[in-house]
């Protein structure tokens, strides 16, 4: 979605309201499609004292799988979006400035970038998720499976020998 914001830069308007939905259903992140429903973006672009600022909130349901048990997670999220918009910049300008060419703001690109930067790096269905059994694959949230837990990973077998020597 391209928004023409020339009227804000030329002083013909002070505020431009934003209320739209953006479709990112084709976007893939961590072997998953996290945005199955449209992302709602609401806020405003305002001009004051020669500065044009985008302030908005993106609301969406984040779809993913638990990193421990692979259960489906549907987590409602809100991500604040705030950027200073400029029509020209130098190399010394800070990274928070967004260069707007021909007074056209590509809102979908900007919002998608902010969403990616704010997605959680660890996805858990609950904080104390026990995961799945490494031997039989049973989901341990429904109870333990009875597999032998005294089995030692062969990579750590040498450490077991060291503790037996000190006894």
Alpha carbon separation from 159 to 72, 91, 153, 166, 167 (Å, rounded): 37, 54, 10, 11, 13
- 3-state DSSP: the chain helix, strand, coil percent, rounded to 5? 20, 35, 45
CA angle in degrees (0–180, nearest 5) for 35-52-117: 30
Per-residue pLDDT of the chain (167 residues; tens, 9 = 90+): 898 888 888 888 889 999 999 999 999 988 889 999 999 999 999 988 778 899 999 999 999 999 999 999 999 999 999 998 888 776 665 667 887 888 889 999 999 999 999 998 899 999 999 999 888 888 888 888 888 766 677 787 788 777 776 55
Contacts (Cβ under 8 Å, ≥6 apart) of 89: 97, 99
Residue 79 pairs with which residues in a beta bridge?
58
Domain spans of the chain, in order of start:
2-118, 130-167
């Amino acid at each position: 979605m391209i928004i023409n914001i020339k009227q804000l830069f030329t002083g013909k308007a002070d505020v431009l309201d934003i209320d739209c939905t953006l479709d990112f259903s084709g976007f893939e992140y961590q072997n998953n499609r996290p945005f199955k429903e449209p992302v709602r973006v609401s806020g405003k672009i305002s001009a004051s004292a020669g500065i044009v600022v985008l302030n908005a909130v993106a609301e969406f349901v984040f779809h993913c799988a638990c990193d421990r048990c692979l259960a489906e997670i549907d987590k409602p999220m809100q991500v604040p979006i705030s950027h200073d918009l400029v029509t020209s910049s130098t190399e010394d300008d800070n990274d928070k400035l967004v260069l707007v060419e021909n007074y056209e703001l590509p809102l979908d690109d900007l919002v998608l970038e902010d969403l990616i930067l704010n997605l959680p790096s660890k996805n858990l269905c609950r904080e104390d998720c026990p995961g799945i059994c490494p031997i039989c694959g049973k989901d341990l949230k429904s109870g333990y499976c009875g597999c032998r837990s005294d089995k030692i990973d062969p990579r750590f077998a040498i450490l077991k020998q060291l503790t037996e020597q000190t006894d």
